[in-house]
Amino acid sequence: MQRSYVSGPSDTPLIGRTIGEELDRVAAEHGGREALVSRHQGLRYTYAELNAAVDEAARALLASGVAKGDRVGIWSPNNAEWVVVQYATAKIGAILVNINPAYRTHELRYALERSGVSMLVAARGFRDADYVAMIEDVRPGLPDLREVVLLGPGDTPGSTITWEQLLERSEGCSDDDLEQRRSTLDFDDPINIQYTSGTTGFPKGATLSHHNILNNGYFIGRRMRLGPEDRICLPVPFYHCFGMVLGSLAAMTHAAAIVLPGEAFEARACLETVQEERCTALYGVPTMFIAELSLDDFSSYRLDSLRTGIMAGSPCPVEVMKRVMSQMHMDQVTICYGMTETSPVSFQSSVDDDIETRVSTVGSIHPHVECKIVDPSTGRTVPRGTPGELLTRGYCVMLGYWNDPEATAEAIDRARWMHTGDLAVMREDGYVNIVGRIKDMIIRGGENIYPREIEEFLYSHPAIEDVQVIGVPDLKYGEEVCAWVKLKEGASLTEEELRAYCKGKIATYKIPRYVRFTDNFPMTVTGKIQKFKMRETSIEELGLQEAASQRTA
């Protein structure tokens, strides 16, 4: 029996530098190359210019009294200042706290209070949210929050200051002062707190080190074969590790450029950016690629500069992946899998993988990382080909949840294995397929049903643009299959036609008992589908409250 265990051997050593040291290295070797383009702000930085802006902000933070280990929060959609703050905090040993742009007062207060943020850098607002008003609302109850810095033009209510006023303080701190602080830093120091978007309860603050995220970014870029000539169109948010690590750090460690098409995702802006900036890579979650492919003028965009990119964040539909490769010229697109707590990537497909492997798995294990798949009930490693919970171990595993040793102990066992909660199957060659979440698995009359399998089948229907499958409570079988279906524009499909399409092709017990046609799915700001909200809505609409109230062992 070959067990479901694999490790990532590598002739390339891990980077033993801090993030600031790595940026200095890249700026010294590639100073004239473009590093960052923010199209919606009209800003461009070479690596030399970006490093100078970072040093200026770092000196300003030092002059403001930010100590090593202090928490500096950032609450903003994508912009150039976000990147500057990311690297400036790293250079002085402050811990950057990423705050979700979608948060409102209750969540904002929780994140700031829980992490003890002493300085908050914030946009003035995002979409319909007035950040300034929300900050003023929560600030009286946060004694640790000494200062608020607002980005962009406008008034500075209360004791807030502008970004420009913060930078003026840099004159009060010398390069020698900055160097003295940097000499006290170590690559294992905590450098980042990312609040994971939990499906129940409050989010937890995954605490990550220089070593965690710098190396993860480097090996992500290496598997994509990124180099100084590459330009990444980056519509995914910086607050999430997709933007901050897979985007910013993967680009920086390979001297590539990141191009921001806007402060948040907009399909047309992405394709315009790829065309006008001649981007070689494009990132996104599956819903973003679906939106881009669905544009009525999609065929009018010149996308032949594209070579690679990343599709990640949620399971990648096979049919969508095939269209991205064939219609968007991204024949070297890669799939990434991981979680915030593992920095985040532990599996990634290679540009050399054949098409079938790239569309049917999340790839192979990353260098210097281990993985095993275990029986959730016994903890024993299962044979290859058998579903179980995926566990990850290695340099990428977080330091822990901030100020939450109990939650940390639940997630990371005594052997330092991170328990992901994901159900996976390892092939004989070590490649892995994610079949769902342990909590998402449907158990109907004793049969284990993996929603991903049904979703992949339904994607093959010509009228279906997107589909999500969940389990809903049932008095007789315990659970039944419910499919939320989004149709292609102009297409029509009935429940009966959908079930007829399934008949004879998938097992009868897997055919959706309930079908709900929808125009959109509840999701996080990063594009992750919130299946627990779909379940709540379905229970209400289908009148399944009695079944939902039944207690189970």
Counting Cα atoms < 13 Å in the Cβ hemisphere of 353 gives 24
> Can you give the C-alpha Rg of the chain in angstroms?
23
Question: What is the DSSP track for 234-274?
Answer: --S-TTSHIIIIIIIIHHHTTT-EEEE-SSS--HHHHHHHH
pLDDT by residue, tens only, the chain of 553 residues? 899 999 999 999 999 999 999 999 999 999 999 999 999 999 999 999 999 999 999 999 999 999 999 999 999 999 999 999 999 999 999 999 999 898 888 889 999 999 999 999 999 999 999 999 999 999 999 999 999 999 999 888 878 999 999 999 999 999 999 999 999 999 999 999 999 854 345 689 999 999 999 999 999 999 999 999 999 999 999 999 999 999 999 999 999 999 999 999 999 999 999 999 999 999 998 889 989 999 999 999 999 999 999 998 776 777 888 899 999 999 999 999 999 999 999 999 999 998 888 888 999 999 999 999 999 989 999 999 999 999 999 999 999 999 999 999 999 999 999 999 999 999 999 999 988 778 788 878 767 788 888 998 899 999 999 999 999 998 888 889 999 999 999 999 999 999 999 998 888 889 999 999 999 999 877 677 889 899 999 999 999 999 888 643 3
Q: With respect to residue 447, please indicate whether it lies within any of the assigned structural domains.
A: yes
Q: Helix, strand or coil for residue 507?
A: coil
- H or E element that contains 303: none
* CATH code for the domain in which residue 515 is found: 3.30.300.30
CA 260/CA 38 separation, integer angstroms: 5
Cβ atoms of 543 and 475 within 8 Å: the answer is no
Single out the residue of 309, 191, 316 nearest to residue 250, CA to CA: 309
> Range of 527's domain?
440-548
CA 3/CA 15 separation, integer angstroms: 30
Residue carrying the six token digits 């980077």: 15
Q: Helix, strand or coil for residue 263?
A: coil
Give bridge partners of residue 3 from the DSSP assignment. 383
Give CA separation, 47 vs 54, 190, 245, 456, in Å.
Answer: 10, 25, 17, 42
State how many domains the chain has: 1
Q: With respect to residue 361, please indicate whether it lies within any of the assigned structural domains.
A: no
- H or E element that contains 348: strand 345-348
Burial of 524 (0-12, 13-18, 19+ CB in 10 A): middle
Cβ atoms of 157 and 133 within 8 Å: the answer is no
Q: With respect to residue 379, please indicate whether it lies within any of the assigned structural domains.
A: no
Q: With respect to residue 457, please indicate whether it lies within any of the assigned structural domains.
A: yes
Q: With respect to residue 537, please indicate whether it lies within any of the assigned structural domains.
A: yes
Measure the CA dihedral 424/234/487/490, to 10°: -160
- H or E element that contains 396: none
Q: What pLDDT is stored for residue 303 in this prediction?
A: 98
Q: With respect to residue 448, please indicate whether it lies within any of the assigned structural domains.
A: yes
Q: Helix, strand or coil for residue 127?
A: coil
Q: What pLDDT is stored for residue 315 in this prediction?
A: 67
Question: 172: which 2 tokens?
Answer: 């009060």
CA 108/CA 98 separation, integer angstroms: 11
Q: What pLDDT is stored for residue 532 in this prediction?
A: 87
Give bridge partners of residue 97 from the DSSP assignment. 73, 193
